[in-house]
């Protein structure tokens, strides 16, 4: 992958980030889980002086390494990271009824846990936003493959969703990280390719799908419900 192509991708992504911020200011939130793609967005925003609001969801089950990279984002880039937590009562009731590790019991239980700990906090955060920025890539899942760089998110009240690194491959992302000394979650050095909650994420073997380490005991789509695509209305497409 040549540096020119990475640089073109970065320029294209920056246009999307800039458009998001110039259109919505503090009413657009960047939902980050500090994955490799998210770190590229943080870096591009910082380099361009765009004070994108960083928001993350702390499910209460994150690995320690994710808290470390969260602090690195604050220290290196100076972004204030807003943290959204699940509703205490909902977590307590779910755990009381089904146990702390309910997600291993069935897909239904896993989706319940994701709903309580991830999806509801996200919905709460997005209910006060006019738009959001996400670090999804088109080649990650079938749901993400039909996303667009700028789209209307009907699942969240018709707000605008910006996906600035949609067209990047994993190789592009890691080339950019290496070339620009972007900090990243140290779990990537231990074979993790996609990082979520500690009990639901494991390393993958070389050549395996990067999402195969998420909820590895399940078959089918590896989504937690954050990135729902009901074939959203495309309002702008770039880089195709
Ligand atoms: S990823 Fe696992 S622990 Fe995290 S919210 Fe979903 S089911 Fe619960």
The pLDDT tens digits for 195-212 are 999 999 999 998 888 888
Q: Looking at residue 143, what is its pLDDT? A: 77
pTM of the full structure: 0.90
State the average pLDDT over residues 190-198: 94
Atom of ligand 1 nearest to the CA of 102: 7
State the average pLDDT over residues 114-120: 96
Q: In what order do the strands lie in the sheet with 131-133?
A: 81-84, 53-57, 28-31, 131-133, 159-162, 150-153, 234-236
Domains of the chain: which residue ranges? 3-236
- Strand 150-153 to 159-162 pairing: antiparallel
Residue 185 in tokens? 């979650």
- Nearest CA to 240 out of 172, 168, 167 is that of 167
119 Cβ below 6 A of ligand 1: no
pLDDT-above-90 percentage for the chain: 80
Q: Is the pLDDT confidence value at 232 over 60?
A: no
63 Cβ below 6 A of ligand 1: no
CA distance 205 to 76: 31
Residue 197 annotated to the active site: no
Q: Is the pLDDT confidence value at 169 over 60?
A: yes
59 Cβ below 6 A of ligand 1: yes
User: 71: pLDDT confidence band, cut at 50, 70 and 90?
Assistant: very high
What digits encode the pLDDT tens for the residues 37-65?
A: 999 999 999 999 999 999 999 999 999 99
196 Cβ below 6 A of ligand 1: yes
User: 11: pLDDT confidence band, cut at 50, 70 and 90?
Assistant: very high
Q: Looking at residue 207, what is its pLDDT? A: 85
Least confidently predicted of 10-19, 29-38, 148-157, 228-237? 228-237
Which CATH number among 3.30.420.140, 3.40.50.620, 2.70.98.90, 3.90.1150.10 corresponds to the domain 3-236?
3.40.50.620
User: 82: pLDDT confidence band, cut at 50, 70 and 90?
Assistant: very high
Q: Is the pLDDT confidence value at 240 over 50?
A: no
The chain-wide mean pLDDT, for the chain, equals: 91
Least confidently predicted of 96-100, 120-124, 228-232? 228-232
DSSP letter at 86?
A: -
Cα–ligand 1 centroid distance for 56 (angstroms): 15
Q: Are 150 and 235 in contact (CB under 8 A)?
A: yes
């Amino acid at each position: 992958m040549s540096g020119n192509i990475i640089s073109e991708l970065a320029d294209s992504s920056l246009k999307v980030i800039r458009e998001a911020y110039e259109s919505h200011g503090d009413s657009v939130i960047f939902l980050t889980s500090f994955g490799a793609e998210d770190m590229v967005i943080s870096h591009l925003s910082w380099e361009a002086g765009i004070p994108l609001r960083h928001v993350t969801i702390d499910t209460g089950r994150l690995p320690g390494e994710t808290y470390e990279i969260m602090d690195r984002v604050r220290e290196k880039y100076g972004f204030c990271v807003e943290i959204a937590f699940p509703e205490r009562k909902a977590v307590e009731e779910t755990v009381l009824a089904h146990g702390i590790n309910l997600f291993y019991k069935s897909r239904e239980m896993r989706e319940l846990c994701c709903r309580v700990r991830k999806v509801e906090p996200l919905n709460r955060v997005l209910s006060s936003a006019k738009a959001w920025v996400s670090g999804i890539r088109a080649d990650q899942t079938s749901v993400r493959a039909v996303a667009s760089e700028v789209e209307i998110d009907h699942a969240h009240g018709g707000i605008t969703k910006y996906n600035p690194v949609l067209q990047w491959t994993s190789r592009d992302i890691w080339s950019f990280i290496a070339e620009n000394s972007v900090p990243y979650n140290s779990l990537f050095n231990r074979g993790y390719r996609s990082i979520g909650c500690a009990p639901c994420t494991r390393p993958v073997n070389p050549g395996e799908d990067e999402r195969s380490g998420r909820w590895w005991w399940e078959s089918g789509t590896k989504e937690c419900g954050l990135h729902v695509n009901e074939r959203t209305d495309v309002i702008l497409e770039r880089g195709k």
